[in-house]
Structure 1
Amino acid sequence: MTRTEHQAGQLRLVNLRLATQPDTLTELLIEDGRFVAHLSERATAPEVRDLGGHLVLPGLIETHIHLDKACIMNRCELSEGTLTEAIAQTSAAKARFTEEDVYQRGARILDQAITQGTTHMRTHVELDPGIGLIGFNAIRRLQQDYAWAISLEICVFPQEGLLNNPGTEELLCEALENGADLLGGCPYMDDDPHGQIRRLFELAVRYDCDLDLHLDFDLNPLGMTVPEVVRCTLEHGWQHRVTIGHVTKLSALPPEQLQETALAMAEAGVQVTALPATDLFLTGRDATHNVPRGVAPLPKLHACGVRCSLSTNNVGNPFTPFGDVSLIRQANLFANVSHLGTPEELARCLAWVSEESARMIRLPDYGLAPGCKADFMVLDAATPATVIAELSQPLMAFKAGRQSFERTPARLMGG
């Protein structure tokens, strides 16, 4: 992808609309990569960009994706479409991964994500004795090479198990000591899921890092591990530093139990990421009729005070054989399956891929206010709600005040 360069320093954006005042044209000022209230005096005049009355929103945030195993469907055979098959097929394909292979596939996804308005991404990276640090080293290179357009946060985790897989913990520790940002987990891959959870908390405390766990990924309400995560969070004082992804078991709980669980999660500051594309594709396959939707019930969790986000998870592999890394599309999909349609509900879906995601990953200086990093996108949409309702595509995006891409709108040729 060709980078769009402009003069660094000062930029004045005019003729634009903000979500807080969608009917009023205004301007934004940028200096040295951040929004400012006033530009300082300099020898050269600031660059001025007319945004044609379009809507400006902060850049989108991908809170849960797997760059290292993206775009491998041509190496896999899909017959059952189950989680078990996805894990087995991906594990077999992973045995042939090389650093350059992971880099190229990850770059392909990053190119797409940038043009979808994403400016920050948390990617999970698998570590185990089979793959070693191959995926991690490739993603570290991508982190550096794509910093001009997207900030990449690396979460290392044991997809193949931790306690059952000797040598994995040493690799996780090595990665955390060499640039990984946080630690993930996959408790259902160990014979003792609670034991993995407890060990991950011990490691998180040792390395003073956040946790992001794949959890309770089926539709059987029995055997839920969320209570153990809540208990460990409170025990270690890790409130608002623990995120759990998938958690589709929550969708199978009766209302009273769901509310009790959600209130406990809110009190402990345990956060939830829903991954609708993957969760809809993999779950409910044993149902012959009235197939369940099987997606974490974010509206009910949000109402109880749980911090929430939406994300992509996988693209082009047995977990999710499709996708274009559009968080707006994920938010629209979630709105559809969750019966969300009012302007307020649609705006909240957008928040779950933007400002609420920023809160979840503790991203500082996010937004359009003076002092915030100038990471933003421009859309031809009337309001935040219509962005989700109409699947608006970003026209351009900026990272630290530098334009990262531009999309030319379609033009009708008839008449």
Structure 2
Amino acid sequence: MQINNVILPCQSSATDVDIWDIVITDGKVSQIRPSNNIAGEPPKLLLPALCHPHIHLDKPFILTSGRPSSNTQPDYSDLLPRTGSFEEALTNTSNAKERYTEDDLYLRGAQLLATSYEQGVTSLRAFVEIDHATGPLPLTIAIRLKSEFSHLLCVQICAFAQDPIFSTVHGEANRSIITSALGEYASSIQALGTTPYVEATREASLQNIEWAIATALQYDLHLDFHLDYNLALPSPSSPPLTFSVLELLKKHRWLDIAKASKTIVLGHCTQLTLLCDSDLQTLAKTVIQSGLPLHFVGLPNSDMFMMGRPSSAVEMIHSRPRGTLHVPSMIKDLGLSACIGVNNVGNAFTPFGSGDPLQAASWGVGIYQAGTVADAMMLYGCVSWLAKRAIGLEGSAEDNDVIEGKSLQGMLLIKNKEYIKMPSTSDRSELKILARKRMSIKDIVWDPPETTMRSIIE
């Protein structure tokens, strides 16, 4: 196999050569040389694949399935958002879980994985809720999907406690069910996730965090918290739980016990946007000095939909905080590890949209006011190698390099068109517009391709 006339935007080594020809023998690069481009064809781009560091496998397309209800396909039409509030989303999702069927979970999960692959995703962390309402059913379907898509996608299953496990009448049952699942399906689960903020009290939230840390260490799992998902002003008596996570990780000696490849991810953390600069710098210094493999995942699609809503009809609606982590600043200014995830697609937490991570990166240009070429590279990294690093996969700059002896499996080949052909008119046969060429990362981030992206799988 030979790929001619290729641009390598993410190659870390500086070179005067812009376009390359790559020869692949027995599945690995055997030669990389400057391109002659004798045919004069438009260049292609070879890019690192995309990654979903945070996406829910059991909840996609609940509101946008486009499929009539039946004995095996539940009707969720009555769960469309009316207020769009966080509380409504939690309630509607709980109601939806009571209607899950095996066929329904399989279809929606398969649709998410298939569309993700078409969008250039080759790895993801899939959250699967396990509780008194669902039992182990979503997990067993996730394991089946993971197996069936294994030749295309690296699927990390995160056993996830969305509901309380230390408070409310179902807390003990929820904890028992997820503990049993961790034992029974241990070989298929790579991460443990919980949602401390749903507990009834701060004390229960701290119990939730401590249990999750101890359990992740027991089963040798990555750890992933949905955390500090609010815009309440922090106070000395109620600081963000992020600080407690750091203290409890130290208490349980994560660095001494966990394998080096096991990461800790904190998702959402919208309350941190209310901290003053000095407190953020203190937090960053604490994280860095701890040496913990801790990563923040901003989820702007759902964060901005959920957070900053007016508390009453008379409240000024144009001065609302947007409430999502400023991921580029966390990386550039604070030196933290961070990335961007999609979170939900077509359910109460993000009612509409395609779940395309490249679209989320593109929106980041405006959300984060990140418009330089370097910002474009960072935003692409936030849905590619930085996202992979967060979930414990390869994720250094050198991992993106095309070198002899390395496989290109899973990389993305972006093809350029010569012309855009438009429908004919009565006085001419065809309208042809010279296509704008995609030549660098910034072109990809700002103008994501649709049918021109494919993953190299052989």
TM-score category, normalised to shorter length: 0.7 to 0.9
CA distance in structure 1 between the partners assigned to 2:300 and 2:80 by the alignment: 22
Asked whether the equivalents of residues 29 and 408 of structure 2 are also in contact (C-alpha less than 8 Å), the reply is: no
Query: What's the CA shift for 1:23?
Result: 6.3
CA distance in structure 2 between the partners assigned to 1:231 and 1:392 by the alignment: 44
Asked whether the equivalents of residues 57 and 368 of structure 1 are also in contact (C-alpha less than 8 Å), the reply is: no
Query: What's the CA shift for 1:95?
Result: 0.3
Asked whether the equivalents of residues 17 and 23 of structure 1 are also in contact (C-alpha less than 8 Å), the reply is: no
Asked whether the equivalents of residues 157 and 190 of structure 2 are also in contact (C-alpha less than 8 Å), the reply is: yes
Partner of residue 293, structure 1: 322
CA distance in structure 2 between the partners assigned to 1:52 and 1:316 by the alignment: 37
Task: Provide the secondary structure at the position in 2 that maps to 1:188.
Answer: helix
State the AA in 2 paired with 1:378: L
Query: What's the CA shift for 1:77?
Result: 3.1
The alignment status of 1:266 with 2:288, answered yes or no, reads yes
The alignment status of 1:228 with 2:234, answered yes or no, reads no
Task: Provide the secondary structure at the position in 1 that maps to 2:43.
Answer: coil
> For each residue in 1:301-352, what CA deviation from the matched residue of structure 2 results, as whole angstroms up to 9, or x when unmatched?
2132211111110000010001212111001112211111001011101011
Partner of residue 86, structure 2: 83
From 207, 229, 241, the counterpart of 2:219: 207
CA distance in structure 2 between the partners assigned to 1:290 and 1:114 by the alignment: 38
From 375, 382, 399, the counterpart of 2:410: 375
The correspondence of residues 255-404 of structure 1 with structure 2, limited to 5 A, is 255-268=277-290, 269=292, 270-286=294-310, 288=316, 289-302=318-331, 303-364=333-394, 366-369=399-402, 370-372=405-407, 374-379=409-414, 380=416, 381-393=438-450, 395-398=452-455, 401-402=457-458
Rg larger in structure: 2
From 154, 161, 171, the counterpart of 2:177: 171
Query: What's the CA shift for 1:235?
Result: 2.9
CA distance in structure 2 between the partners assigned to 1:157 and 1:323 by the alignment: 23
Asked whether the equivalents of residues 367 and 373 of structure 1 are also in contact (C-alpha less than 8 Å), the reply is: no
Partner of residue 5, structure 1: none
Asked whether the equivalents of residues 385 and 394 of structure 2 are also in contact (C-alpha less than 8 Å), the reply is: no
Task: Provide the secondary structure at the position in 1 that maps to 2:54.
Answer: strand
Unaligned 5+ segments in structure 1 are 1-10, 40-49, 403-415
From 29, 47, 68, the counterpart of 1:36: 29
The two structures, once aligned, show a CA RMSD in angstroms of: 2.2
Greater Cα shift, 335-344 or 70-79: 70-79
Asked whether the equivalents of residues 60 and 346 of structure 2 are also in contact (C-alpha less than 8 Å), the reply is: yes
Greater Cα shift, 17-26 or 103-112: 17-26
Using the size of structure 2 for normalisation, the TM-score is 0.78
From 187, 200, 219, the counterpart of 2:196: 187
Asked whether the equivalents of residues 55 and 378 of structure 1 are also in contact (C-alpha less than 8 Å), the reply is: yes
Task: Provide the secondary structure at the position in 2 that maps to 1:375.
Answer: coil
Query: What's the CA shift for 1:51?
Result: 9.0
Partner of residue 412, structure 1: none
Partner of residue 110, structure 2: 107
Using the size of structure 1 for normalisation, the TM-score is 0.86
Q: 1:14/1:282 Cα in 2 relative to 1: closer, same or farther (>3 Å)?
A: same
Query: What's the CA shift for 1:364?
Result: 3.6
Task: Provide the secondary structure at the position in 2 that maps to 1:295.
Answer: coil
Asked whether the equivalents of residues 328 and 392 of structure 1 are also in contact (C-alpha less than 8 Å), the reply is: no
Greater Cα shift, 150-159 or 22-31: 22-31
Asked whether the equivalents of residues 280 and 295 of structure 1 are also in contact (C-alpha less than 8 Å), the reply is: yes
Q: 1:93/1:256 Cα in 2 relative to 1: closer, same or farther (>3 Å)?
A: same
Asked whether the equivalents of residues 22 and 31 of structure 2 are also in contact (C-alpha less than 8 Å), the reply is: no
Q: 1:238/1:304 Cα in 2 relative to 1: closer, same or farther (>3 Å)?
A: farther
> For each residue in 1:150-206, what CA deviation from the matched residue of structure 2 results, as whole angstroms up to 9, or x when unmatched?
211110111111112112233323333411111001001113111100110010110
The count of corresponding residues between Structure 1 and Structure 2 is: 380
> Share of identical aligned residues, percent?
28
Partner of residue 246, structure 1: 268
Query: What's the CA shift for 1:237?
Result: 3.9
The alignment status of 1:14 with 2:4, answered yes or no, reads yes
